[in-house]
Amino acid sequence: NVTDKDILNDQATTGDVVSYGMGLRGQRYSPLAKINTDTVQEIRPVWAFSLGGEKQRGQESQPLIKDGVMYVTGSYSRVYAIDANTGDELWQYDARLPDGIMPCCDVINRGVALYGELVIFGTLDAKLVALNKDTGKVVWKKKVEDYKAGYSITAAPIIVKGKIITGVAGGEFGVVGNVRAYDAVNGQLVWERPTVEGHMGYIWKDGKKTENGISGGKPGQTWPGDLWKSGGAAPWLGGTYDPDVDLLFFGTGNPAPWNSHLRPGDNLFSSSRLAIDPDTGKIVWHFQSTPHDGWDFDGVNELISFDYQENGKTIKAAGSADRNGFFYVLNRENGDYIRGFPFADKITWASGLDKNGRPIFVDSNRPGDPSESKDGTQGTSVVSAPAFLGAKNWMPMAYSKDTELFYVPSNEWEMDIWNEPTAYKKGAAYLGAGFTIKPINEGYIGVLKAIDPKTGKEVWRYQNYAPLWGGVLATAGNLVFMGNPEGYLLAFDAKTGQIKYKFNTGSGIVGSPVTWEMNGEQYISVLSGWGGAVPLWGGDVAQRVKHFNQGGSVWTFKLPK
Ligand SMILES: O=C(O)c1cc(C(=O)O)c2c(n1)C(=O)C(=O)c1cc(C(=O)O)[nH]c1-2
Ligand SMILES: [Ca+2]
């Protein structure tokens, strides 16, 4: 049975993986070193497990492993329990989704949470489901939001102090984003925190619901008129937690609609990082990376806690590589901006960051206002970089305490983007924008970058033909693991970027690799299964990758005995 202590110690205990991010801070670093730069050439697959299912694609799940059992999600709201020794299926659960689900960016799921006897995950029809870990039978099921309004859940929940913490998706449909905490044993709501300014938060005690303060104090300060009522800002990627400062960190997505001329103002708390009190749901601090976002630069990217030394002092920092092309280092105690720097090669929408980390906008690179066009139907189109799918999208980076580097899966691409008139209608796309993504370079789009957060210096890079869309793992074996859409699991020397191992898994990798130890041996697992937002929204880039085959499976590797 998984306890709070198991989850808090997840990064240090190598015999299991019981949290998304391999530790609640989300560093994706393992102290295991049996597989290292000298031995990794010898690893071999020991089993592969098919996820089946014709509706499934885009296998973004990160496996969890406890007591010799692996728990993974399939993209179409499925869960599998697998014998981690043999690859045999123990049970599977199919959430049986209604026809009307509205995920914006493919049918996807990023993984489960474990607590006590429960395996907990979010579904594309915006429910939380808790299954018995031994049987796969439903213990409880909660409706989080109304999928008919455009809500879904794609992120893995996290467990903090006995509570399940989950965000929601739906920014492209004008939902109101929120973070919620549920009792991890019985699924009762504990608190609810809207991520759009103006909406009331709630807290539940002994079954009684009480008001817990309006997010941002009052409505209408950074939004015109009633637009905050359908403001988006969905925390769709889930969050991290740092026990040191006892704060949850959630990123929030794009303000709705995309057409920024309809909503003058900063549009809090869209495209921001929020620090939330895990006990009460209060917003303790916020940092907005893209105020008045006009490019769909959702600021959901994971905020990873890390410490570093400066002038003999320990700095409690947190790093985040934003979809907008800038990397931010914040003080995680109070949200103060420490430094920021571009990690994308090409950024056209801002010329830099000011001393508070606020972007210095290039006004001519904001797509134009349709109401200023001749017939009012389309504003001036601009060529803007990064493309809206981001210098980095959902795929999680890793931080190694050995090299003190972040390993950032990024993409170099740009877009034509223009605005159109739009109005909110429940359950309909609410963009008011059109776009075509285009490659910048002939030879590559994806770039894995090793970045020093203290200086902003790129230490090494690996360039990939297709856009990178999978997570990264760093280990004490001086290795960095990552998959690519071409299908390869790749291992790099963490210091130099030299490729030490590659293996083709048969379909594109958009999942996040993990490592753990069982019977004295180190294992690596990763999901394979091409999909996600690129084939759907990639424009000219989708053409580049249209020959990649789908097909979901879990691959597991180890050294020969
Ligand atoms: O605003 C939102 O609610 C929302 C949700 C999601 C999602 O839940 O996957 C994505 C996005 N936006 C998005 O903008 C995006 O580029 C994206 C890519 C992916 C993916 O998994 O490939 N999801 C999402
Ligand atoms: Ca979005």
The pLDDT tens digits of the residues spanning 327-345 come to: 999 999 999 999 999 999 9
The pLDDT tens digits of the residues spanning 397-409 come to: 999 999 999 999 9
Q: Is residue 105 lining ligand 1, measured as CB closer than 6 Å?
A: yes
Q: Which ligand is nearest to the CA of 101?
A: 1
Q: Which ligand is nearest to the CA of 468?
A: 1
Provide the domain limits for residue 106: 4-558
Q: Look at the chain and report how many structural domains it folds into.
A: 1
Determine the pLDDT at residue 515. Answer: 98
165 pLDDT tier (thresholds 50, 70, 90):
very high
Q: Is residue 395 lining ligand 1, measured as CB closer than 6 Å?
A: no
Question: Tell me, what DSSP letter sits at residue 280?
Answer: T
The Cα 104–Cα 220 span in angstroms is 27
Q: How many whole angstroms from 249 Cα to the centroid of ligand 1?
A: 18
Q: How many whole angstroms from 296 Cα to the centroid of ligand 2?
A: 6
**Is residue 300 over pLDDT 90?**
yes
Q: Whose CA is closest to atom 12 on ligand 1?
A: 171
Residues 6 or more apart in contact with residue 547 via CB below 8 angstroms: none
Q: Whose CA is closest to atom 13 on ligand 1?
A: 105
Question: DSSP characters for 477-500?
Answer: TTEEEEE-TTSEEEEEETTT--EE
Kindly give the number of the ligand 1 atom that is closest to the alpha carbon of 234: 3
On whether the CB atoms of residues 188 and 306 are closer than 8 A, the answer is no
**Is residue 430 over pLDDT 90?**
yes
Chain centroid, CA 469 distance in Å: 11
- Return the active site residues: 296
Q: Is residue 389 lining ligand 1, measured as CB closer than 6 Å?
A: yes
Size of the chain, expressed as the number of residues it contains = 561
251 pLDDT tier (thresholds 50, 70, 90):
very high
CATH number of the domain encompassing residue 453: 2.140.10.10
Mean of pLDDT over the chain: 97
Determine the pLDDT at residue 53. Answer: 80
Determine the pLDDT at residue 29. Answer: 98
Tell me whether the omega of the peptide bond preceding residue 269 falls within 30 degrees of 0, making it cis. Answer: yes
ipTM confidence: 0.99
**Is residue 322 over pLDDT 90?**
yes
CA angle, 390 then 547 then 446, to 5°: 30
Kindly give the number of the ligand 1 atom that is closest to the alpha carbon of 390: 16
Q: How many whole angstroms from 291 Cα to the centroid of ligand 2?
A: 15
Q: Is residue 65 lining ligand 1, measured as CB closer than 6 Å?
A: no
- Rounded average pLDDT over 77-98: 97
Determine the pLDDT at residue 220. Answer: 85
- Rounded average pLDDT over 90-116: 96
User: Can you read off the two tokens belonging to residue 495?
Assistant: 């210091």
Q: How many whole angstroms from 252 Cα to the centroid of ligand 2?
A: 9
On whether the CB atoms of residues 224 and 266 are closer than 8 A, the answer is no
User: Can you read off the two tokens belonging to residue 512?
Assistant: 């996040």
**Is residue 206 over pLDDT 90?**
no
Q: Whose CA is closest to atom 21 on ligand 1?
A: 532
On whether the CB atoms of residues 227 and 423 are closer than 8 A, the answer is no
Q: How many whole angstroms from 177 Cα to the centroid of ligand 1?
A: 13
